[in-house]
Structure 1
Amino acid sequence: MVLTTVLGSCIAVCAYDPLAGIGGMNHFLLPEKGEQDGGRRNTIFGSYLMELLLNELYKNGARRERLQIKLFGGACMLNSCFDTGERNAEFILRFLADEKLPVMASSLGGLRGRRIEFFPVSGRSRQKFMAETKEDFVPPPATVTRPGEVELF
């Protein structure tokens, strides 16, 4: 079995217990839910998804002291990342330090997306960087209608 995801500014956390032979991966968009996030679902936030991943691993026989963690993502995409990738990376490093969980490998930051494959039974992972974007994204010009004009579809 292989778990696969594609990342930009998001973060993927791969966690593995070699003795139990069990692992899992999550993929989060934002670090923590803030007041401005009101009705957004918890399933996009690292704080929620980290608890979910760790608790599921523990329920299935993983032990905290044996967990090996690998981190991927946190890129600045489209030259306008609003620091989302950096904030995500800072969050996950702080979370793992607070939980005293060791990071065995990480590939965070940069300007390119990544495709991640994680093999939860062996703990092996692969990363492939996406091709660089040749041009900056430029939105199409806005259409201006003059009073009295008729727009045909």
Structure 2
Amino acid sequence: MFHKAILPPGGDLARVTVMQGQALASADPGLEYSTVLGSCVATCLFDPQARVGGMNHFLLAQPPAGYEGASVDEHYGVYLMELLVNEMIGKGARKSHLKAHLYGGANVNRNMMRIGTVNAEFARKFLVNEGITLAREDLGGTQARRVDFRPASGQVRLRTVEDRLAPPVQPTTRPARALGDVELF
């Protein structure tokens, strides 16, 4: 729950959804970032002195070993964490003043690799390596989360998404044997 609202004249907030692969920063008191997370992680950064905040949303921590993509893939935390810090600095924040909140990293599908755990561990390690204070985290578990963040005040509202409201995970089924012919050439 938000503690005290700092709203622009008129009291209306502009809500911006932060999608996978995005990192956004602002000092606008009339703005609220919002995202929904499962195994993904969102980092909310805030500089209380500059009153600048930002949020990112990453799908995977980093590319697989041996990956040699021709371009940067914005869905990886290794890219989006750096991008968020740089966006914040570009808006007047100082890295030494940053406070972080981490959310998400759930393992929502029990039949899959523990992607959420890997994402959470990566985000924590990144903050330690960069000397950024971790003020709060809500990581892990099996439930999806919705995060609303007001970048100019650093206020965060977190809600879990009930399992019954989350879409069911359907395992893929393959035929027991191949049907049809394949011609190799």
Q: TM-score, structure 1 length as denominator? A: 0.85
Tell whether the 8 Å contact from 1:78 to 1:136 is kept in structure 2 after alignment: no
Which of 11, 30, 43 pairs up with 2:74? 43
Say if 2:72 and 2:79, in contact at 8 Å, map to a contact too.
no
1:38 Cα deviation from its structure 2 partner: 3.8
Q: Which runs of 5+ in 2 are unaligned?
A: 1-30, 180-185
- What is the rounded CA distance, in whole Å, between the counterparts of 1:62 and 1:139 in structure 2? 45
Q: 1:113 aligns with which of 118, 123, 144?
A: 144
1:137 lines up with 2:162 in the alignment: no
Task: State the Cα distance separating 1:7 from its structure 2 match.
Answer: 0.1
Please report how far the alpha carbon of residue 39 of structure 1 lies from its aligned counterpart in structure 2 after TM superposition. Answer: 6.2
Indicate the structure with greater helix content: 1
Aligned ranges 1:72-91 → 2 under 5 Å: 72-91=103-122
Equivalent of residue 122 in structure 1, options 144, 150, 153: 153
**Which residue identity does 2:47 align to in structure 1?**
D
2:6 counterpart residue number? none
Tell me the secondary structure at the aligned position of residue 104 of structure 1.
strand
Which string of whole-angstrom CA distances, capped at 9 and with x for unpartnered residues, describes residues 52-100 of structure 1? 1001111111011111100000000121240100100111111111111
Counting matched residue pairs gives 145
* CA distance in structure 2 between the partners assigned to 1:69 and 1:81 by the alignment: 28
Shift of 1:141: 6.2
Per the alignment, residue 17 of structure 1 pairs with: 47
* One-letter code aligned to 1:84: I
* Equivalent-residue separation in structure 2 for 1:37 and 1:29 (angstroms): 18
TM-score, scaled to structure 2: 0.71
Please report how far the alpha carbon of residue 138 of structure 1 lies from its aligned counterpart in structure 2 after TM superposition: 3.9
Q: Is the 8 A contact 1:9 1:81 kept in 2?
A: no
Query: Where in structure 1 are there 5+ consecutive unaligned residues?
Result: 148-153
Q: 1: CA distance between counterparts of 2:80 and 2:47?
A: 18
Counterpart amino acid of 2:133? P
Is the CA contact (8 Å cut-off) linking 2:46 and 2:151 kept in structure 1? yes
Q: CA RMSD in A?
A: 2.4
Distance 1:44 1:60, change over 3 A: same
Task: Using CA pairs under 8 Å that are at least 6 residues apart, name the structure with larger relative contact order, 1 or 2.
Answer: 1
Q: Is the 8 A contact 2:106 2:141 kept in 1?
A: yes
1:116-146 CA deviation, whole Å, 9 max, x = no partner? 00000100001110011489634476689xx
